[in-house]
């Protein structure tokens, strides 16, 4: 079943102030199949729930009488100063959610100074996205079996302005997305990936080349014919050499993997793919303290999964993250109001983060230390 393009904006909601408000509005404007594609996880979706519940199980222990008169939320990543520790995680097929697709996303992020991570499976080409971007952005890569194509993608991203390469390492196969299977979901023409189209051949969104694991793919078995399931550490070293860009490994949750990445100078992006691949995989927050100990400040740590409030942001930073990344929430904003909706979701979460810092007695991000977090019960 192919959803129609979404409407440009939701009905007016004068009190849309939280990420949950944007989710409710997105549900109103998106076709049910597109909303399920965005919201769904693997199998019973336990990991999707655990990602959010991990934050709920932690309480904050604020300091008082600190004399703090203001808060500083700036963070520098690979030489780029960001006004906020909140960045945008890669999500595919923005054309499913707004007619202007990733162009609206990067404009909305730039309006707040936020960094965007652009998916291999973007609806627009890397060149189109780079032309629309006035703020910093990174490129998320699925390593292709065709290594020449892989290197071409990285070169194109760098030429278009990407500041880093984020290699997804947790997806040798795609998880069992049961909502999509029940809906008979297939990417429509306004959502198909542009960067993997082959001249004179089928596009990456056609029936012979759809997103890995998407219903409607004609390949047999669990493996996609294009995505290489056998990526190893040497491939990340090779990509760093070929690209000349910083490289991060997205999908790490174990301290031993994090230590190996740090020893190789590879950034650590803690993620379980938003609960969309291996159901019952741990929430990144649960292993963050151990990962932070293993990394020992040698490389940046990015954490995503389940972040819905400013209090979630400060918990992750206090336990060792350098920045946090959000995925579904900014897509809700994109669906509701394009670039302005992306900006609005980021501003809402940033304001909550500022308030949490002030109420914790933490004047800046460096003041967020593990002693500010404890069990909720």
When pLDDT is cut at 50, 70 and 90, the band that residue 215 belongs to is very low
pLDDT beyond 80 at 338:
yes
Predicted local distance difference test score (pLDDT) of residue 130: 98
Say if residue 9's pLDDT is above 60.
no
DSSP string, 312-376: HHHHHHHTT-SEEEESHHHHHHHHHHHHHHHHHHHHHHHHHHHHHHHHHT-SBGGG--GGGEEE-
Q: How far is CA 304 from CA 47, 103, 210, 253, 301, in A?
A: 13, 22, 25, 11, 10
pLDDT band, residue 208 (cuts 50/70/90): very low
Question: Whose CA is closest to 301, among 314, 326, 320, 281?
Answer: 320
**Predicted confidence band of residue 69 (pLDDT cuts 50, 70, 90):** confident
Q: Using only the alpha carbons of the chain, give its radius of gyration.
A: 20
Per-residue pLDDT at 70 exceeds 70: yes
pLDDT over 70 (residue 202): no
pLDDT at 207: 29
Residue 182's pLDDT band (cuts 50, 70, 90): very high
> Distance between CA atoms of 376 and 373, rounded to whole angstroms?
9
Whether 13 is catalytic is no
Higher pLDDT, 199 or 248: 248
Distance (Å, whole) CA 95 – CA 19: 21
Bigger pLDDT: 217 vs 16 = 16
Q: Which two tokens stand for residue 27?
A: 């549900």
What pLDDT sits at residue 205? 33
Q: What are 114-173's pLDDT values in tens digits? A: 999 999 999 999 999 999 999 999 999 999 999 999 999 999 999 999 999 999 999 999
Q: Strand 373-375 and strand 58-60: pairing? A: antiparallel
Tens of pLDDT, residues 322-332: 999 999 999 99
166-189 in b/e form (b: 16+ CB < 10 A) is bbbbbbeebbbbbbbeebebbbbe
Helix ranges, the chain (H): 19-29, 32-39, 46-56, 101-110, 126-132, 147-160, 178-183, 233-243, 255-263, 284-295, 310-318, 328-360
Q: Put residue 236 in one of left, alpha, beta given phi > 0 → left and psi -120 to 50 → alpha.
A: alpha
Contacts of 256 (CB under 8 A, 6+ apart): 294
pLDDT reported for residue 191: 83
* The length of the chain, given as a count of residues: 377
- List Cα–Cα distances, 97 to 27, 31, 40, 373, in angstroms: 11, 9, 15, 36
Above 90 in pLDDT, residue 227? no
pLDDT confidence of residue 214 = 45
pLDDT of residue 222: 67
Please check the confidence at residue 6 and state whether its pLDDT lies above 80. Answer: no
Give 273's contacts (C-beta < 8 A, 6+ positions apart).
Answer: 168, 170, 171, 175, 251
* 218 has pLDDT over 60: no
Tell me the average pLDDT across 307-316.
98
Q: What is the mean pLDDT of the chain?
A: 91
Q: Which of 94, 98, 190, 273 is catalytic?
A: 273
pLDDT band with cut points at 50, 70 and 90 for residue 13? low
Has residue 209 got a pLDDT over 50? no
Q: Is the pLDDT of residue 219 over 70?
A: no
Would you tell me how many other CB atoms lie within 10 Å of the CB of residue 68?
Answer: 17
Q: For position 225, what pLDDT does the model report?
A: 75
pLDDT band at 71 (very low <50, low <70, confident <90, very high): very high
Between strands 373-375 and 323-326, the pairing is unpaired
Distances (CA, A) of 216 to 2, 180, 187, 219: 11, 10, 9, 9
Distances (CA, A) of 114 to 23, 137, 326, 327, 358: 20, 9, 11, 13, 21
Which residue in 256, 253, 298, 260 sits closest to 274, CA to CA? Answer: 253
């Amino acid at each position: 079943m192919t959803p129609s393009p979404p409407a440009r904006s939701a009905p007016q909601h004068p009190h849309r102030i939280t990420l949950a408000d944007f989710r409710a509005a997105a549900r109103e404007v998106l076709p049910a199949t597109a909303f399920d594609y965005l919201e769904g996880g693997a199998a019973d979706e336990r990991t999707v729930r655990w990602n959010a519940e991990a934050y709920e199980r932690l309480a904050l222990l604020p300091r008082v009488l600190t004399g703090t008169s203001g808060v500083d939320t700036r963070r520098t990543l690979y030489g780029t100063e960001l006004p906020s520790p909140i960045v945008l995680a890669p999500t595919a097929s923005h054309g499913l959610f707004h007619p202007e697709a990733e162009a609206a996303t990067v404009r909305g992020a730039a309006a707040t100074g936020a960094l965007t991570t652009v998916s291999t499976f973007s609806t627009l080409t890397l060149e189109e996205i780079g032309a629309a971007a006035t703020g910093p952005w990174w490129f998320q890569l699925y390593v292709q079996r065709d290594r020449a194509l892989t290197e071409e993608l990285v070169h194109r991203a760098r030429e278009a302005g990407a500041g880093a390469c984020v290699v997804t390492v947790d997806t040798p196969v795609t998880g069992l997305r049961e909502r999509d299977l029940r809906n008979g979901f297939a990417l429509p023409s306004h959502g198909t990936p542009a960067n993997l189209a082959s001249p004179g051949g089928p596009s990456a969104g056609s029936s012979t080349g759809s997103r890995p694991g998407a219903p409607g793919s004609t390949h047999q078995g669990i493996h996609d014919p294009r995505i290489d399931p056998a990526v190893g550490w040497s491939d990340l070293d090779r990509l760093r050499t070929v690209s000349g860009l910083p490289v991060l490994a997205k999908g790490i949750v174990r301290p031993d993997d994090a230590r190996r990445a740090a020893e190789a100078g590879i950034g650590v992006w803690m993620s379980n793919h938003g609960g969309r691949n291996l159901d019952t995989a741990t929430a990144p927050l649960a292993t963050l303290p151990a990962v932070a100990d293993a990394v020992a400040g040698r490389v940046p740590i990015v954490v995503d999964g389940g972040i819905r409030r400013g209090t979630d942001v400060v918990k992750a930073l206090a336990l060792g993250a350098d920045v946090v990344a959000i995925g579904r929430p900014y897509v809700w904003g994109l669906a509701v109001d394009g670039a302005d909706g992306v900006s609005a979701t980021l501003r809402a979460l940033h304001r909550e983060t500022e308030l949490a810092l002030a109420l914790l007695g933490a004047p800046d991000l460096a003041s967020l230390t593990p002693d500010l977090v404890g069990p909720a019960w």
